[in-house]
Structure 1
Amino acid sequence: MAEIEREAMEYDVVIVGAGPAGLSAAIRLKQLDADLNVVVLEKGSEVGAHILSGAVLDPVGLNKLIPDWKEKGAPLNVPVKEDNFYMLGEAGQLRIPNIVMPPLMNNHGNYIVSMGNVCRWMAEQAEEMGVEIFPGMACSELVYGENGEVKGVVAGEFGKNADGKPGPSYEPGMELHGKYVFLGEGVRGSLSKQVIAKYDLAAKSDVQKYGLGMKEIWEIDPEKHSEGTVTHTSGWPLSESKSGGGSFIYHLDNNQVYVGFVVHLGYKNPHVFPYMEFQRFKHHPLVAELLKGGKRVAYGARAITEGGYQSMPQLEFPGGALLGCSAGMVNLPRIKGNHNAMLSGIAAAEAAMEAISAGRGGDLLDGYDTAVRKGEIGEDLRKVRNVKPLWSRYGLLASLGIGGMDMWMNTFGNGFLGTLSHGKSDADATEEASKHKEIEYPKPDGTLSFDRLTNVAFSFTNHEESQPAHLHLTDPDVPVSVNLAKYAGPSARYCPAGVYEFVGEGAETKFQINFQNCVHCKTCDIKDPSQNITWTVPQGGDGPNYPNM
């Protein structure tokens, strides 16, 4: 096919992703120089449409970026009033006293928020400063300069037919060039993945680890609502499938609660069904009693980076930088990454401003990587760097015991374990089905628990059906000949939206991709044992439309 001709627009900084990292970078750039030309490109239909997070927000990043955020009406309206930690058994629970938890686990001074709404508010602040924000503009390609540096992106390509060829309403999109390009795509971003591979940015880091986070918003009985209460649990039901993870229950305002569940994707048994583990969890007496008489009003899912300090790749590449979860800045024990995403955006903006002021562009942003690792982000992640490896190797109790002591010691200096390695990737951790028993999950009751397709309707996801599938198979035969034969077809279970299914029997078995259901969690790109699935962006505006996640 002939090379596509596109118009090009020039900016000082091009930012991919209107999440907390990208918007923080945009705002900070304009604070430093109001005359800079800054553009933010967002694949969602609007800012916040693809944002899903717990979320209890540590305001440290916002305090640094916009100190008067309260006066400016930031939607941080529910301060945390109470912290609860429980170990669950099938029929009961044991509360862990707050006093034994390391200080960093204390949520005093934090806020229960919708990060989608926080990002919408941040976008308003950015636009008032002159930042151009274009929602519905998926960035499908990187543009490289003469010296191999990233000089821009292709955004806004629409109208391809299912075979990938331009259709009658095809629009080629535009090239947006910048002196620097920031990638703030979130977890396992498609462009970030390419950049990490092209420039070998992960050469000196440990493997990245991930979890699958699933979340529902519930409206509950006002008598059971306790605004500002934060509850985290571990143990059942994941203890039965020998998987890692836990839950969160956050009481926000208006009698609503966030009910979330995280499954570590390093599980060995390919029969594990993360979505059904979540649904089963809601039948625990502690949770069932809370939700009884209430109704679920929204659902969504996304992957979470869990590797932490030792898994961050090099953050600088020729012509740009990785921000936030594109590099993996989540503090796993705290289940928090938004504050670090904001801080990374600020640090990248300051490094870019220094470079642009010196007449530079298209080179490495000297100092950004160091600022992250040696600054507040690095210190936040360093303290908890061994919790995940301990959990993966020895299980939950060792993580709580030994990991807890290590966190205490890291809070006041250096721990006694050094820095542990994560070992295998989550894909490589998957073992053959013959080594494990199948797991029987209770059928959803339609009141507390729901089947996947019913819940996916509450993500309000939508994809124009005539476009090419944005989920690519390296080898179309592998799902049946390898993954079904050896691993019992785990894609039919690890996807929280029912995108993948095996239809037919025996020699007639076919692998079907229902890409219209996709909520952009990217679990398939991470957990597929053959690493045969690549997640890419669909056309702009498609995907979930989260209202208050």
Structure 2
Amino acid sequence: MQQESMSFDLLIVGGGPAGLAAAIRAKQQAAAAGREVSVCLIDKGAQIGAHILSGAVIDPCALDALLPDWKTRGAPLTTQVTDDRFLFLSENKARSVPHWLRPACLDNRGLYMGSLGELCAWLAREAEALGVEIYAGFAAADLLFDTQGGVAGVVTGEMGRLRDGHPGPNFQPGMHLLAQYTLFAEGARGHLGKRLEAAFELRAKADAQSFSLGLKELWQVPAAQHQPGLCLHTGGWPLTDAVGGGFLYHYGDNLVAVGLVISLAYKNPWLSPFEEFQRLKTHPALRSHLAGGTRLAYGARVLADGGLQALPELVFPGGALIGDDAGFLDPARLKGIHGAMLSGMLAAEAAVKALAEPRGTGVLKAYHEEWRQSRLYKQLSRARNFKPSLSQGPKLGALLAGIDQKLLRGRAPWTLHKPTDHNQLDPADEHAPIAYPKPDGQLSFDLPSSLYLSNTQHSEDQPCHLHLKAANLSVDFNLPTYAAPEQRYCPAGVYEIIEEAGTPRLHINAANCLHCKACDIKDPTQNIEWTPPQGGEGPVYGRM
């Protein structure tokens, strides 16, 4: 069957904040110049926002620059942070850290809380009103190259291939989407972004990217205990030997977002991020906010938080990386939405300029130059030592990070580095297994009931989208060395060691996958490769 093709001036892969901001800015710039630029955006989620998950406390500076009248246009950000707290937790107690003792990067007052998924759905409507063509449910599966070796577009994923690899009765091949320039906004650990980094050696001068795993639930609580505008962050318990912290935000219609962010550089292979999150909610300091409420949704996603020294080269022949596909999150503030949007806007401006010239003459060079002069670059420069400092451990790391941000204000004359996440695990026999408490069904819950709330759906009769480079490596090496940590670091129960006739085997429950990418990052042998399933499949987060 012959593959169809469509051609555009600018193609954007990914419907998160970076991609949507880029699409809107491209149309704005073209209109200002009196030109017509065709812009297409594709996203693997069933609808824009379906695969989007963030805390989310949002710095509105990028929205102010993109759509200055966003409030009157009806953007779904209506709750401003008015009460900003930070608690350091022990197992049963909490100590409040006053504002005067915190570095400025931890001040969230005046920012906005809400659903990033809803914000992206709103941005998509704004983009379509400007003439952007948006196609949800289309995953970018492969890259297209021109005769000079530059990126010429992408191939969308096939539909209807059976589990054995053969085309089914409803098989449809992928479509070739061609463009003068392609911006990749797949989010953290984008599978095409990985290939682009390798193909064009974009990471030759950069550190390995580092990641954290964020787990989140959305609750609706009784009106009497709702405190709109309260932004609460925690450090300490339950993460006694890992770096991370909790969050709890009151916003909207009696909604509370609660979650845990944990660095994937942790060492104890017995640790389960999902179980640590369930423990966090039982702490007295958080219990009072959730008691009597109803849990509405659950999800998980990695975030790229390596900072400035982990940013790859941004441009390559035919395109550029934007948003978390590159890693613009400010690790000191743990804020990435405004950085993703600003990067997308800068890349779009460069693309519109480049489209006025013969292809290849500019190679989007203006994007890199403008980024180096931007406010965002200055922010990331000040935060560059934050994550490497934290890698020294929960207590010493917090002290060093505090010195860097509070006393030195991010202006230390040195730049620290950290090792990659996947090679940090200790052998299992160096740690005692962790006995996690059974869920109480009121504040803490089991994984199956949590997955149900993620609305995750995958067709069972399709090839597995989680590829093992070596089929038996998990059983032959991970199991005896690390007690098969993939069973615990995955927040969706995708990986399971089962025995058949007394022989262990790794079973992959691909239908459970939340597309968080933790397996692609944390596997100690880098044996697992995440690829997109059929377009539109996966979680449907909606209000997350």
> TM-score band (shorter)?
over 0.9
Offset at residue 400 of structure 1 (A): 3.3
Using the alignment, how far apart are the partners of 1:398 and 1:371 within structure 2? 37
Q: Could you tell me whether the CA contact under 8 Å between 1:149 and 1:362 is conserved in 2?
A: no
1:146 matched to 2:147 = yes
Offset at residue 66 of structure 1 (A): 0.6
Helix, strand or coil for the counterpart of 1:398? helix
Using the alignment, how far apart are the partners of 1:235 and 1:446 within structure 2? 24
- The residue aligned with 2:222 is 221
Q: Could you tell me whether the CA contact under 8 Å between 2:317 and 2:360 is conserved in 1?
A: no
1:455 matched to 2:450 = yes
Helix, strand or coil for the counterpart of 1:53? coil
Q: Could you tell me whether the CA contact under 8 Å between 1:164 and 1:467 is conserved in 2?
A: yes
Q: Residue 421 of structure 1 aligns to which amino acid in structure 2?
A: H
Helix, strand or coil for the counterpart of 1:357? coil
Q: Could you tell me whether the CA contact under 8 Å between 1:150 and 1:362 is conserved in 2?
A: no
Offset at residue 145 of structure 1 (A): 0.8
- The residue aligned with 1:310 is 309
Using the alignment, how far apart are the partners of 1:391 and 1:496 within structure 2? 23
1:129 matched to 2:130 = yes
Using the alignment, how far apart are the partners of 2:242 and 2:501 within structure 1? 31
- Residues 307-361 of structure 1 show CA distances to partners (whole Å, capped at 9, x for unaligned) of 1111011111111000110011111232210000000010001111111112325
Q: Could you tell me whether the CA contact under 8 Å between 1:501 and 1:513 is conserved in 2?
A: yes
Using the alignment, how far apart are the partners of 1:465 and 1:191 within structure 2? 24
- The residue aligned with 2:119 is 118
Q: Could you tell me whether the CA contact under 8 Å between 1:78 and 1:112 is conserved in 2?
A: yes
Offset at residue 465 of structure 1 (A): 1.0
Using the alignment, how far apart are the partners of 2:305 and 2:501 within structure 1? 38
Using the alignment, how far apart are the partners of 2:180 and 2:104 within structure 1? 42
Using the alignment, how far apart are the partners of 2:287 and 2:247 within structure 1? 14
- The residue aligned with 1:244 is 243
Offset at residue 504 of structure 1 (A): 1.3
Q: Residue 20 of structure 1 aligns to which amino acid in structure 2?
A: P
- The residue aligned with 1:379 is 378
- The residue aligned with 2:368 is 369
- The residue aligned with 1:438 is 433
Comparing 279-288 and 503-512, the one that deviates more? 503-512
- The residue aligned with 2:27 is 30
- The residue aligned with 2:12 is 15
Alignment length, in residue pairs? Answer: 540
Using the alignment, how far apart are the partners of 2:212 and 2:318 within structure 1? 30
Offset at residue 221 of structure 1 (A): 2.3
Q: Could you tell me whether the CA contact under 8 Å between 1:320 and 1:362 is conserved in 2?
A: no
RMSD between aligned residues: 1.4
Helix, strand or coil for the counterpart of 2:8? strand
- The residue aligned with 2:94 is 93
1:418 matched to 2:414 = yes
- The residue aligned with 1:541 is 536
Helix, strand or coil for the counterpart of 1:33? helix
1:178 matched to 2:179 = yes
Q: Could you tell me whether the CA contact under 8 Å between 1:208 and 1:307 is conserved in 2?
A: yes
- The residue aligned with 2:188 is 187
TM-score, L = length of structure 2: 0.97
Using the alignment, how far apart are the partners of 1:156 and 1:307 within structure 2? 30
Helix, strand or coil for the counterpart of 2:435? coil
Offset at residue 218 of structure 1 (A): 0.8
Q: Could you tell me whether the CA contact under 8 Å between 2:242 and 2:394 is conserved in 1?
A: no
Helix, strand or coil for the counterpart of 2:46? coil
Q: 1:362 to 1:148 in 2, by over 3 A?
A: farther
Q: Could you tell me whether the CA contact under 8 Å between 1:318 and 1:362 is conserved in 2?
A: no
Q: Could you tell me whether the CA contact under 8 Å between 2:307 and 2:380 is conserved in 1?
A: yes
- Aligned with residue 501 of structure 1, among 492, 496, 504: 496
- The residue aligned with 1:341 is 340
- The residue aligned with 1:295 is 294
Q: Could you tell me whether the CA contact under 8 Å between 2:105 and 2:332 is conserved in 1?
A: no
Helix, strand or coil for the counterpart of 1:459? coil
Using the alignment, how far apart are the partners of 1:202 and 1:428 within structure 2? 18
- The residue aligned with 2:478 is 483
Gaps of 5+ in 1: none
- Aligned with residue 397 of structure 2, among 373, 377, 399: 399
Helix, strand or coil for the counterpart of 1:545? coil
- The residue aligned with 2:158 is 157
- The residue aligned with 1:473 is 468
- The residue aligned with 2:71 is 70
Offset at residue 202 of structure 1 (A): 0.7
- The residue aligned with 1:108 is 109
Offset at residue 490 of structure 1 (A): 0.3
Q: Residue 336 of structure 1 aligns to which amino acid in structure 2?
A: K
- Residues 413-447 of structure 1 show CA distances to partners (whole Å, capped at 9, x for unaligned) of x623511011x211111121122221111111111
Helix, strand or coil for the counterpart of 1:524? helix
Gaps of 5+ in 2: none
- The residue aligned with 1:320 is 319
Using the alignment, how far apart are the partners of 2:125 and 2:59 within structure 1? 21
Comparing 503-512 and 384-393, the one that deviates more? 503-512
- The 5 Å alignment of 1:208-287 reads 208-239=209-240, 242-287=241-286
Using the alignment, how far apart are the partners of 2:384 and 2:337 within structure 1? 18
Q: Could you tell me whether the CA contact under 8 Å between 1:158 and 1:171 is conserved in 2?
A: yes
Using the alignment, how far apart are the partners of 1:5 and 1:90 within structure 2? 62
Q: Could you tell me whether the CA contact under 8 Å between 1:150 and 1:181 is conserved in 2?
A: yes
- The residue aligned with 1:45 is 46
Q: Could you tell me whether the CA contact under 8 Å between 2:328 and 2:336 is conserved in 1?
A: yes
- The residue aligned with 1:201 is 202
Helix, strand or coil for the counterpart of 1:204? coil
Q: Could you tell me whether the CA contact under 8 Å between 1:246 and 1:263 is conserved in 2?
A: yes
Using the alignment, how far apart are the partners of 2:287 and 2:406 within structure 1? 34
Q: Residue 487 of structure 1 aligns to which amino acid in structure 2?
A: Y
